[in-house]
Amino acid sequence: MSVGQALPHDSALLHVTGRAQYTDDIPLPPGTLHAAFGVSPVAHGMLQALDLAPVLASPGVVAVATSADIPGENNYGGAVHDDPVFAERELCYTGQPVFAVAARTHEQARRAVRAARMQIDEQPAILDIRTALAQEAFVLPTQRAQRGEPHAAIAGAPRRLSGSLTIGGQDHFYLEGQVAAAVPQDDGGLHVYSSTQHPSECQAIVAHVLGVPANHIVVSCRRMGGGFGGKESQPALIAAAAAVLARRTGRPVKLRLDRDADMIITGKRHDFIADYETGFDETGRILGLAVMLASRCGYSADLSGPINDRAMFHIDNAYFIEHLAIVSHRCRTHTVSNTAFRGFGGPQGMMVIEAIIDEIARALGKDPLEVRQRNYYGGSGRDVTHYGQRITDNPIGTITSRLVASSDYHARRAAVARGNAAGGTIRRGIALTPVKFGISFTSTQYNQAGALLQIYTDGSVLLNHGGTEMGQGLHVKVTQVVAAELGLPLSAIRITATDTSKVPNTSATAASAGTDLNGMAAKAAAATLRERLVGFAADFYSVAPEQITIADGLVTIDTKQMPFSQLAREAYTARIPLSATGYYRTPDIHWDKHSWSGRPFYYFAWGAAVSEVALDTLTGESRLLRLDILHDVGSSLNPAIDIGQVEGGFLQGMGWLTSEKLWWDAQGRLRTHAPSTYKIPTARDWPAEAHVALLAAAPNPEATIHRSKAVGEPPLMLAISVFQALRDAVASCGTPGARVELEAPATPEALLDALRRIRSAT
């Protein structure tokens, strides 16, 4: 059976030979034009005049398009219609698209946009969260959630502390930048090749922008060169601009953002600040907590609503907090509109509670792990989240104890303390942090999926489903599911590009739910075909259906055996339909946003990590020395793919919390817009010693696809252990109980600042 095997990625051989085709590699007809955006040079201003004559006169230029050239609605915002494709009068961030140009070559287009003349009345700009808070500049209404009597509980607690945390944003840095090619069809239709996690939304938005029905637009995507959430809502902008130019010129138009343009124009992970106050007892148990979260949403709403909601949902991480109040502000700034990024607000929420737990432990002189365990969900009356969802499956105690043993945590913690006590400029730190991450779109409607499965008369199978492949191994997993259901070898099944003309009205491949949703939909389609074939064979050969098995491509009918291809041919001849759709909706979930309660998540994915770091107290440079991870993926569909998600997610999270600093200058210009200035981890940052394991014998109690669990996002948050280990190392330079004030990302400069603060407080 193909399910559960460590099979290679379906495109592995294509990847390594360079044959895998990405959107920019697709051959396009002669005459294809290449587009580039002309963008706002200011963070905030009113466009008084726009002179594009010099652009049109530039070599190779064929056409330009502004907001005036949009036949339909000038918007690519999916949820709230506040994202213009091309800015009209108000310019809202440096880099905002104002117009686009189509030229014969990519370089000509890039050169030409620089010739535009813009007359701008510059306006004051809000460039950071604190300023937005002070001016009450929000893109969406503030949300509040409360359970119990937190303020009274804090006031009455034996111990209290309050503080603030700054958490930086993150660029996706998918290696393949945003790209779309719009190819006009002969009947007024448009085929859009897009590197997108959300073909259906891309289709809907292109249709709206062009003012045509959705059935005129086909969006397809065979694969992305990475997505990470950055290709959920953002590709609609690229596709829409290409579509407008294609409509205008009647020629195919490709719009590929170069790296700098991509990083300047497209949204990122939200940076957050948190102000908190907590009351706790001498054992470290949290008695009450009040948290203010504020995030930089940028100039528009985009997905900021559900992202900030998810931060609120994950402020508890793995901890029961009986009395809790959360205020969540969604701040408007004159910077790029921030968007989905692996974890979707969850990581920022978890960062806050993990910092608080660490502070409590230091105030009490305890091992932070002890305080973590003291607050874990579990036990009578301690199993309901602050949004009313009961936690019925809770392996965190098991995970923690196994990881403590396998990582030799206690002995290593003692060794770290001994080494630090001996002094020297290099200090060490160690931390274990847990992860509990809710799986499902919190907007219940998105928890549905479809698939289309076709068997040809030679027995070969073509699989299509609504999920997109961005490297996460979705396609091989779904193929494994279908192979198992049909009793065929994996090689009999071919998966094709995600295509809105095959499976309509799909959800984004996001929220870690790609396999859960599409795997189930594909399984349903396969089950339908299998039942049809078995039913046909039972009739045809006059046997009971139970006497028919299909395995490894071989059909056994009582004592007779035949290849699957023969059954397919016979079924076709008997006029049995050989294609089927499959559909799935996640059961049992519900959410009432007014009472802020329900069961938004079908289940939780869990894990924990131990990180040990070294810190150079002279310069603030640090290094991860050893990593131990134990992560829960239920019954893995493909352990090789899952380990890849765990390791890759972890290192991406570590980059977010250590080296990946976004830096805007005083004029609101992003100055870290290329890999020369924005530093994601390299191979050397993977620790020399790493032990990464999947939690064994832990099938999902919920009836998910083969009892597996989602794995896309949760491992990213294992990297919080690195940040906490760095806090531990900083703490070694202060007196016991001294506070660690470290912002994320913990760059060398941030760490040296934290060291200075703890030393001066000592």
Least Cβ distance, residue 22 to another protein (angstroms): 6
Chosen residue from 681, 712, 714, 734 binding another protein by CB under 8 A: 681
Amino acid (one-letter) located at 224: M
Spatial CB neighbours of 108, under 8 Å, sequence gap ≥ 6: 34, 58, 59, 60, 61
Measured distance CA(539)–CA(534) in Å, rounded: 9
Least Cβ distance, residue 657 to another protein (angstroms): 12
CA angle centred on 356, ends 352 and 359, rounded to 5°: 140
What are the φ/ψ torsions at residue 661 (nearest 5 degrees)? Answer: -105, 125
**Residue 679 lies near another protein (rule: CB under 8 A):** yes
**Residue 667 lies near another protein (rule: CB under 8 A):** no
The neighbouring-strand residues paired with 455 are: 461
Residue number, 349 or 467, with CB nearest to another protein: 467
Positions in 246-305 near another protein (CB under 8 A): 258-260
Q: Is 362 exposed, middle or buried (0-12, 13-18, 19+ CB in 10 A)?
A: buried
Identify the DSSP state of 270.
P
Other residues' Cβ atoms within 10 Å of the Cβ of residue 393: 14
Measured distance CA(502)–CA(74) in Å, rounded: 27
Least Cβ distance, residue 518 to another protein (angstroms): 18
Positions in 464-503 near another protein (CB under 8 A): 470-473
Q: How many residues interact with another protein (rule CB under 8 A)?
A: 90
The neighbouring-strand residues paired with 332 are: 298
Residue number, 437 or 664, with CB nearest to another protein: 664
Q: Write out the two tokens for 90.
A: 């108000």
Chosen residue from 1, 19, 46, 699 binding another protein by CB under 8 A: 19
**Segment interacting with another protein (CB under 8 A) among 4-12, 302-310, 436-444, 582-590:** 4-12
**Segment interacting with another protein (CB under 8 A) among 158-166, 364-372, 378-386, 674-682:** 674-682
Least Cβ distance, residue 685 to another protein (angstroms): 7
Measured distance CA(190)–CA(685) in Å, rounded: 44
Positions in 98-137 near another protein (CB under 8 A): 105, 107, 110-111, 114
x/- track of binding to another protein for residues 518-547 (CB under 8 A): ------------------------------
Least Cβ distance, residue 175 to another protein (angstroms): 4
Positions in 136-175 near another protein (CB under 8 A): 172-175
Least Cβ distance, residue 473 to another protein (angstroms): 7
Q: How far is residue 109 from each of residues 54, 56, 181, 235, measured CA to CA in Å?
A: 13, 10, 15, 19
**Residue 77 lies near another protein (rule: CB under 8 A):** no
Least Cβ distance, residue 87 to another protein (angstroms): 23
Q: Is 713 a catalytic residue?
A: yes
| Gyration radius (Cα) of the chain, Å | 27
Q: Is-contact 717 435, C-beta < 8 A?
A: yes
Residue number, 283 or 619, with CB nearest to another protein: 619
Please state whether beta strands 45-51 and 117-122 pair in parallel, antiparallel, or not at all (unpaired): antiparallel
Residue number, 384 or 640, with CB nearest to another protein: 640
Chosen residue from 161, 384, 426, 693 binding another protein by CB under 8 A: 426
Least Cβ distance, residue 28 to another protein (angstroms): 12
Q: Write out the two tokens for 572.
A: 């076709």
Please tell me which residue in 354, 485, 570, 713 is annotated as part of the active site: 713
Chosen residue from 115, 214, 384, 640 binding another protein by CB under 8 A: 640
Residue number, 34 or 362, with CB nearest to another protein: 34
**Residue 659 lies near another protein (rule: CB under 8 A):** yes
**Segment interacting with another protein (CB under 8 A) among 16-24, 493-501, 566-574, 703-711:** 16-24
Q: What is the total residue count of the chain? A: 762
**Segment interacting with another protein (CB under 8 A) among 6-14, 396-404, 440-448, 697-705:** 6-14
Positions in 567-626 near another protein (CB under 8 A): 614, 616, 618-623, 625
Q: Is 736 exposed, middle or buried (0-12, 13-18, 19+ CB in 10 A)?
A: exposed
Helix (H) or strand (E) holding 627: strand 622-631
Helix (H) or strand (E) holding 478: helix 474-486
Positions in 201-240 near another protein (CB under 8 A): 223-228
Helix (H) or strand (E) holding 290: strand 286-298
CA angle centred on 653, ends 649 and 659, rounded to 5°: 135
Positions in 690-749 near another protein (CB under 8 A): 690, 692, 747-749
Measured distance CA(76)–CA(97) in Å, rounded: 12
Chosen residue from 24, 69, 73, 393 binding another protein by CB under 8 A: 24
Residue number, 674 or 696, with CB nearest to another protein: 674
Other residues' Cβ atoms within 10 Å of the Cβ of residue 191: 17
Residue number, 147 or 223, with CB nearest to another protein: 223
Least Cβ distance, residue 648 to another protein (angstroms): 4
Measured distance CA(32)–CA(24) in Å, rounded: 12
Chosen residue from 672, 691, 693, 757 binding another protein by CB under 8 A: 672
Q: Which of 169, 140, 132 is nearest to 44 (CA)?
A: 132
Q: Is-contact 572 540, C-beta < 8 A?
A: no
Least Cβ distance, residue 625 to another protein (angstroms): 6
Q: Write out the two tokens for 237.
A: 């902008």
Residue number, 176 or 322, with CB nearest to another protein: 176
Residues known to be catalytic: 713
